Amino acid sequence: MSAEEQAESAGKTAGVVAGLLTGAELGSRVIPIPVVGPVVGAVVGATVGSEIGKRLGRALIAGSTEFVKTLTS
């Protein structure tokens, strides 16, 4: 697995977890039906978080790598 694929995977995982938790909280406020609101919110949040996390994960790792290279050279 390449470094870019690892960064994408890590970002996706972080995005899913963050989206899941945030979506469940927002879903419970928007849809005030017990269980339904948090579940719908969590599914939507995890989906959106996954996509955002994949993009941010790659960008964050690439930027961090370049920053470290400037420190070590």
**Residues in contact with 13: Cβ distance below 8 Å, sequence separation at least 6, in sequence order:** 53
- The pLDDT assigned to 65 comes to 83
Q: What is the pLDDT along the chain (73 residues), one digit of tens a residue?
A: 777 788 888 888 999 999 999 999 999 999 999 999 999 999 999 999 999 988 888 888 888 888 888 888 7
Contact indicator for 54, 19 with CB cutoff of 8 Å: no
Beta strands in the chain (DSSP E): none
Number of domains comprising the chain: 1
Contact indicator for 53, 11 with CB cutoff of 8 Å: yes
Cα–Cα distance, 21 to 32 (Å, whole number): 16
- Domain span at residue 47 reads 3-72
- The pLDDT assigned to 24 comes to 94
DSSP three-state, residue 33: coil
